[in-house]
Amino acid sequence: MLRKILIATLGAAGLLAAAPAQPVQAAGAGHIEHVNWSFEGVFGTFDQDQLHRGWQIWTGYCAMCHSLDYFAFRNLEQIGFSEEEVKEIAAEYTITDGPDDTGEMFDREGIPADYWPSPYANDEEATYINGALPPDLSVITKGRAGGPDYVYSYLLGFDDEPPEDQTVPAGSYWNSAAHMSVKMPPQIFEEMVIYEDGTKETPEQHAKDITAFLHWVAEPHLDERKGTGIVTMLFLLVLTALLYALKKQIWSRVEH
Amino acid sequence: MSAMMDNKIVKWVDSRLPIFSLMDEHGIEYPTPKNLNYWWNFGSLAAFVLIVMVATGIFLAMHYVPHGDMAFASIERLMREVDYGWLLRYAHANGASMFFLVVYIHIFRGLYYGSYAKPRELLWIIGVVIMLAMMATAFMGYVLPWGQMSFWAAKVITSMFSAVPIFGEDLVVWIWGGFSVGSPTLTRFFSLHYLLPFLILALVFLHVWALHTTKSNNPLGIDIKGPQDTIPFHPYYTIKDLYGIGVLMMLFMGFVFFAPNYLGHPDNYVPANPMVTPPHIVPEWYFLPFYTVLRAIDNKLLGVIAMFASVLILIAVPWLDRSKVRSLSFRPIMKIFFWLFVLDTLILGYIGAMPAEGIWIPLGQASTAYYFLHFLVILPLVSMYEKPRPLPESISNPVVKDTQDQAAATEAK
Ligand code: HEM
């Protein structure tokens, strides 16, 4: 009996260890490609260089249309930017603040404590200009079945022809990951940014890098979580083994 | 009596408020059958998870804002900005799943060993009430993050009450606090979600009180005959329960640290939007079997009645089972039907996750029918006509003449 329970538990733990951290669920008929992410699995962590590359793409492209409401400039310190650098970066952006003592709103330079400024005044404006609302991307990799794989596939999913039974309206683009016509124009192309670390500027690399960056924004504590998790599991393993030994010892007094 | 009771301070308090006698009698000396197997760990595991839920919940509530415009953001802020906020949130969310897992096993244990049978009927019924309270709590808790699934689950489940004849529509408006699910609904759900766990704590107290009055059942399903059949709760079952907690924690923390969103639905990371209906609205895994029952009947009112009946029917089990023998270890035919029933609930759960179309509709109906057939026909009939195997003499002397001879005979072959 006991052995069975132990085996079942270890089995369950093993399954968990083998399972990818993000469930890859079938998302309708869409085509989703699996990528080997650095942050996958029990020991996976973010690759800081990759996050920096993704940040380049974010500021250069996606930020034109998408908001990133839960991201503050100071968060950049977590991925290796210095306090000074973060100050400089924040200062490049204009933040609308106020009202001041006279009741007027005013513009000022950004500071590290500011959250990422949205490109549009409100959802209505964003929708009007783009034909559809570009969703906030702060938790996008957790908010789609398939997770980061989906976002990656979505970004590269503009090459296929739509199936025969689908018509693509003017101003829309067929996306094979979403498996429908979408209002976002294709965004990823070769050498869209120049990487300083020598990484090849292929479309696939760009899509991976921006997706990894977005996953970091969605799950900023991932590295810390897994680190704490490993220590916790080791602790529990030892504790449980000791409790088991104690249980054996105490029960040896009972006849059965 | 344990040594603790000789202490002067203990004596002083105890003669004025016998709290130490109570602890001694119920936590230390309490005579427990010596043959309990690991399935008896699940009651204490449930109590453990309940405490974890209350503890994490209280801290979450310090950061949560129960308003339609702020709920989603307040949880994102909690996970990002509050020290170990992500841990609190993931522990609470996965804790709900652990709670149901543990309690479902606890209930199946009761069904297998006949723990519901006389004299433990009230203990069992209190358990069913606990389960109902847990379901209400979990449902309202799921609404709080105010994601797409939260919103639409709230909409689907509260709309069920419109099936009530005559004043159904008014009832739903009353529950919503408006003409649709909105901020007032969220705020009242938060209030109730905070209240109900304390009601569950009170029910657990009654549950354990009833348990200690009738004493634990055991794998043989026979009564305690005397002191030779029991051992004191402490240290034997305290250490065994602690070991069980260690094992459960490994599973629990495995989810929390390495797959925290595995059991959740991605749509709940999309803020609630009344204008966009998600393509599939699916409840959490622990509601899936009941969801299949709800959808099996093509009539709203009857579907709702069937769903509630599928839980409430458990209350009647002590009387539907006509057998004098409790444990299925001695009821070979009923044992087979028990495992078929377990299989049926798993199938119900699987179908609950599928869209209500094609083959899933008749399969859902068939497995729903079997669910009720099990309780209303199989259980009474089999228990009336099945001839149980002979029972052992006592817990401390678990030999049966017949079976021993049988064992010897098979060995000789
Ligand atoms: C918050 C949820 C619950 C808690 C904390 C809880 C706690 C406990 C504890 C500590 C025990 C003694 C240990 C054991 O026998 O496993 C117990 C026994 C029992 N519980 Fe529960 N329980 C819960 C829910 C339920 C439910 C939902 C049911 C049935 C519908 C139920 C039915 C029983 C029965 C029949 C026993 C006696 C078992 C026996 O002696 O064979 N419980 N419970």
The pLDDT value recorded for residue A79 is 96
Q: Is residue A206 part of a domain?
A: yes
Q: Which regions of chain A are under pLDDT 50?
A: 1-27
Q: Is residue B17 part of a domain?
A: no
Q: Which amino acid is at B174?
A: W
* Rounded distance between C-alpha atoms, residue B353 and residue A191, angstroms: 43
pLDDT higher than threshold 90 for residue B267: yes
Kind and range of the H or E run holding B122: helix B121-143
The pLDDT value recorded for residue A7 is 47
Q: Is residue A22 part of a domain?
A: no
- Beta-carbon contacts of B337 under 8 Å, excluding residues fewer than 6 positions away, are B374, B378, B379, B382
Segment B35-57 shows an average pLDDT of 98
Q: Which residues of B157-175 are buried (b: 16+ CB within 10 A; e: fewer)?
A: bbbbbbbeeeebeeebeeb
pLDDT in tens, B57-90: 999 999 999 999 999 999 999 999 999 999 999 9
Contact A150, A161 (CB under 8 A): no
Q: What DSSP designation does B324 have?
A: S
Give residue A126's domain range.
46-71+115-221
Across the interface, whether the CB atoms of B270 and A143 are under 8 A apart is answered yes
Model confidence at B37, in pLDDT bands (50, 70, 90)? very high
* Rounded distance between C-alpha atoms, residue B192 and residue B196, angstroms: 6
The per-residue pLDDT of chain B, averaged, comes to 95
Model confidence at B279, in pLDDT bands (50, 70, 90)? confident
Q: Is the peptide bond before B119 cis (omega within 30 degrees of 0)?
A: yes
To test ligand 1's pocket by mutation, which of B45, B135, B207 has the most ligand atoms within 8 angstroms of CB? B207
Q: Is residue A184 part of a domain?
A: yes
Segment B180-195 shows an average pLDDT of 98
Q: Is residue A84 part of a domain?
A: no
Give residue B46's domain range.
30-397
% residues pLDDT > 90 (chain B)? 93
Nearest-CA neighbor of B323 among B402, B389, B397? B389
pTM: 0.91
Segment B208-235 shows an average pLDDT of 96
CB atoms within 10 A of CB B407: 11
Contact B21, B15 (CB under 8 A): no
For every residue of A189-223, which 3-state class applies, written as one string?
CCCCCCCCCCCCCCHHHHHHHHHHHHHHHHCCCHH
Q: Tell whether residue B193 is among the known ligand binding residues.
A: yes
| Cα-to-chain-centroid distance, residue A2 | 41
Number of domains chain A contains:
1
Active site residue B63: no
- Beta-carbon contacts of A231 under 8 Å, excluding residues fewer than 6 positions away, are none
Q: Is residue B141 part of a domain?
A: yes
Q: Is residue B406 part of a domain?
A: no
Please tell me which of the candidates A16, A139, A256 has its beta carbon nearest to residue B254. Answer: A16
Q: Is residue B223 part of a domain?
A: yes
Of B409 and A57, the structure prediction assigns the larger pLDDT to A57
| Cα-to-chain-centroid distance, residue A17 | 20
Q: Is residue A228 part of a domain?
A: no
For every residue of chain A, which 3-state class applies, written as one string?
CHHHHHHHHHHHHHHHHHCCCCCCCCCCCCCCCCCCCCCCCCCCCCCHHHHHHHHHHHHHCHHHCCCCCCCEHHHHHHHCCCHHHHHHHHHCCEEEECCCCCCCCEEEECCCCCECCCCCCCHHHHHHHHCCCCCCCCCCCCCCCCHHHHHHHHHHCCCCCCCCCCCCCCCCEEECCCCEEECCCCCCCCCCCCCCCCCCCCHHHHHHHHHHHHHHHHCCCHHHHHHHHHHHHHHHHHHHHHHHHHHHHHHCCCCC
The pLDDT value recorded for residue B24 is 94
To test ligand 1's pocket by mutation, which of B130, B199, B233 has the most ligand atoms within 8 angstroms of CB? B130
* CATH classification at residue A180: 1.10.760.10
Length of chain B: 413
| Cα-to-chain-centroid distance, residue B136 | 12
Active site residue B383: no
Cβ of B110 less than 6 Å from ligand 1: yes
3-class DSSP state of B40: helix
pLDDT higher than threshold 90 for residue B403: no
Q: Is residue B171 part of a domain?
A: yes
pLDDT higher than threshold 60 for residue B402: no
Nearest-CA neighbor of A225 among B386, B115, B107, B261? B261
* Rounded distance between C-alpha atoms, residue A225 and residue A221, angstroms: 6
Q: Is residue A158 part of a domain?
A: yes
Kindly provide the ipTM of the predicted complex, given to two decimals. Answer: 0.91
Of A17 and B251, the structure prediction assigns the larger pLDDT to B251
What the block records as the tokens of A150 is 């989906």
* Rounded distance between C-alpha atoms, residue A76 and residue A197, angstroms: 18
What the block records as the tokens of B119 is 């004299």
**Cα B267 to averaged position of ligand 1 atoms, centre (Å):** 34
Closest alpha carbon within chain B to A234? B250
pLDDT higher than threshold 90 for residue B156: yes
The pLDDT value recorded for residue A187 is 96
Strands A173-175 and A106-109: unpaired
* Rounded distance between C-alpha atoms, residue A250 and residue A113, angstroms: 57
Q: Tell whether residue B92 is among the known ligand binding residues.
A: yes
The pLDDT value recorded for residue B3 is 84
The pLDDT value recorded for residue A256 is 60
* CATH classification at residue B151: 1.20.810.10
Number of domains chain B contains:
1
pLDDT higher than threshold 70 for residue B2: yes
CB atoms within 10 A of CB A181: 15
End-to-end Cα spacing for chain B: 52
* Rounded distance between C-alpha atoms, residue B316 and residue B69, angstroms: 45
Per CB-CB distance under 8 Å, the chain B contacts of A232 are 253, 257
